[in-house]
Structure 1
Amino acid sequence: MPVESVEGEQTTFRPADSVVSADSSRPAERSRGEAVGLPWIEEADQVAPVDARELSKLFFERLRTLERGSPDHTYTRDTLIEMNLTLVHYVAGRYRNRGNGQLEDLVQVGTIGLIKAIDRFDVSRGCEFVSFAVPCILGEIKRHFRDTSWAVHVPRRLQELRGELVKAQERLASVLGREPTVKELAADLAVAEEEVLEGVVAANGYAAGSLDAPQDPGEAADTYRKGRSLADAMGAPDPAIEVFEHLHALAPLLAELDERERRIIEMRFGQEMTQAEIGTAMGLSQVHVSRLLSQTLARLRRGLRTRE
């Protein structure tokens, strides 16, 4: 095999029986290469792309004759992965400036695509492995972006529908000279109008804005508002929300009270009647009403604590 230069270093590819090394790990590698009937490659991940293409053909031919999971199969498969890592770096490098993850993350994701390509590649079909592997690697990286770039998690079906909607909107807008309607989008994509509406709503979860981001200066009416963030303009918490939460939690507990207890609670807190007025309406003394009210409120408190 020839000697190739990779990033200024010399990497030699020789038949296994010509390798002599003092490294105790290399005789095992040499014997594995001899057992499989393939050359031993000292540093498979440093193989030049031209040599990797030719060597891959040889390794794929041998791989399909080996039993899956055997040591020989593992050696051949692992060497194929290492030799073709340059494909992963090439594809991942095209997306390094997408701003969603480091290059190392994309290489890891792309390597999964490479492994899938190696396991699925059929050398008998006569096509080049590079032509088969690159779409697999690219698909895995695009899937990574699709699953991680959304600010809010939505089903994959809606993520894909969003992309189709964007393309359909641009295409129809150029033809119609205006923004397409939901009905027109549904007809163009051959889907129901409800699906289009669902996709439009789901698209709102693609990106999230920061509450600390300054307001748009173009929309500000004065200098004071221009320096304010969105959170500053949102107002104070609504106390009615807390009341609603309490009522929602109390609803099943109130349903467990008897008729008299529920009537006392309704007159006291719903109609804001005094205990004396409640007693007059129900034919009870004010002291009796006070006792019943205290007992009922204690039961409700215990029930709330138990549920919490």
Structure 2
Amino acid sequence: MPATVSSPSPAVRCADASPAEPGPASAITGSDDLAALAAELGIETDDLAQVCPADARELSKVLFARLRAADEGTAEYSYVRGTLIELNMALVKFAAGRFGHRAEPTEDIVQVGTIGLIRAIDRFDPSYQVEFSTFALPTITGEIKRFFRDTGWMVHVPRRLQELRLTLAKTTDALEQSLDRAPTSAELAEHLDLTEAEVNEGLTASRAQTARSLDAPAGPDDPAETSPSLADRLAVDEPAFDTLLDLQTLKPLIADLPERDRRILSLRFGAELTQAEIGRELGLSQMHISRLLNRTLTDLRTALLAEH
């Protein structure tokens, strides 16, 4: 059986007097009933979030007995269950505080931890003879860790590789202690009965959990003022990119042209015929082809500038 885990105490004082023995079990369906029960125990319940841990434990014990005696789906069951959630939110905040170094907003971590708290409340039985905090904290923490494992990756990584990453991290720590140095991939593979390729795959997967900004210095210890960024080192100028972008923009504009104008453009810039050759092909004078071509190009240029 796990040892009792003490949760942090809010900055409030517990009731000085020893709590009275609670009276006979009765239905709890509202705040007045809860206040009466708390009064029997010598506990103030003006704000459940500020009830100190010792009082929260005493009140929770009685509430769990009432919860298990109530029929699921009744007003009493819903109220007692909601009260237990609110009364034990300090456990969620305590567990979430362990992950304060993560980039995810604290509100999201608390929300996920609350799901773990609800599951713990639904599964807890007073006959377990263990403090609810001891029972609930592993469930709350596990829910938060599952959240990070499933959503805390910059790219999608299969669950198999996520679990392999954790195994490799633990094994690396253990081997570093015994070898007094970082283990090699071959040593990790031998210790875990894996192939070296599988170990390297797991190590590669671990790099997908975080990502560096392209504006960061190329070297981890390089000063930002003097070191080129990753974007500077990786980026390559593509002189044809602007041309390709213009062609893509021109596509629908050319498609809207009359058939004869599209034909002239195709012969001039596709077949690379001269204006005189295009005139002979279409039975028009070279001067007429020149006027048609200039008008078409002017219209396209105007439409292209309007697109930009």
Q: How does the TM-score come out when normalised to structure 1?
A: 0.61
- Give the stretch that moved more between structures: 33-42 or 51-60: 33-42
* 1:5-46 Cα deviation digits (max 9, x unpaired): 9757232655789xxxxxxxxxx8444555999868423445
Does the 8 Å contact 1:92/1:110 carry over to 2?
Answer: yes
Instruction: Give the match for residue 287 of structure 2.
Output: 287
- Give the stretch that moved more between structures: 289-298 or 236-245: 289-298
Q: How many residues align?
A: 271
Q: Which consecutive residues of structure 2, in runs of 5 or more, have no partner in the other structure?
A: 1-8, 24-29, 172-184
| Cα distance change on mapping 1:58 and 1:232 into 2, 3 Å | same
Instruction: Give the match for residue 264 of structure 1.
Output: 264
Query: Separation in 1 of the partners of 2:228 and 2:283?
Result: 60
* Pairwise CA distance, 1:114: 1.2
Residue 163 of structure 1 pairs with residue 162 of structure 2? yes
Does the 8 Å contact 2:38/2:59 carry over to 1?
Answer: no
Identity of paired residues, percent? 41
Query: Separation in 2 of the partners of 1:29 and 1:51?
Result: 17
Does the 8 Å contact 2:92/2:117 carry over to 1?
Answer: yes
| Cα distance change on mapping 1:259 and 1:31 into 2, 3 Å | closer
Instruction: Give the match for residue 139 of structure 2.
Output: 136
* 1:155-208 Cα deviation digits (max 9, x unpaired): 5xx363441343576777413599833xx579xxxxxxxxx79x96x8765333
| Cα distance change on mapping 1:168 and 1:106 into 2, 3 Å | closer
Instruction: Give the match for residue 94 of structure 2.
Output: 90
| Cα distance change on mapping 1:125 and 1:37 into 2, 3 Å | same
What one-letter code is carried by the residue in structure 2 that aligns with 1:87?
L
What one-letter code is carried by the residue in structure 1 that aligns with 2:138?
P
What one-letter code is carried by the residue in structure 2 that aligns with 1:278?
I
Counterpart secondary structure, 2:209: coil
Residue 175 of structure 1 pairs with residue 175 of structure 2? no
Q: Which consecutive residues of structure 1, in runs of 5 or more, have no partner in the other structure?
A: 18-27, 187-195
* Pairwise CA distance, 1:138: 1.2
| Cα distance change on mapping 1:176 and 1:274 into 2, 3 Å | farther
What one-letter code is carried by the residue in structure 2 that aligns with 1:83?
L
Query: Separation in 2 of the partners of 1:210 and 1:292?
Result: 51
* Pairwise CA distance, 1:81: 2.0
* 1:43-79 Cα deviation digits (max 9, x unpaired): 3445554554454333122123435565533442233
Instruction: Give the match for residue 123 of structure 1.
Output: 125
| RMSD over equivalenced CA pairs, Å | 5.0
Query: Separation in 2 of the partners of 1:291 and 1:40?
Result: 99
| Cα distance change on mapping 1:248 and 1:229 into 2, 3 Å | same
| Cα distance change on mapping 1:149 and 1:35 into 2, 3 Å | closer
| Cα distance change on mapping 1:243 and 1:68 into 2, 3 Å | farther
Query: Separation in 2 of the partners of 1:36 and 1:7?
Result: 19
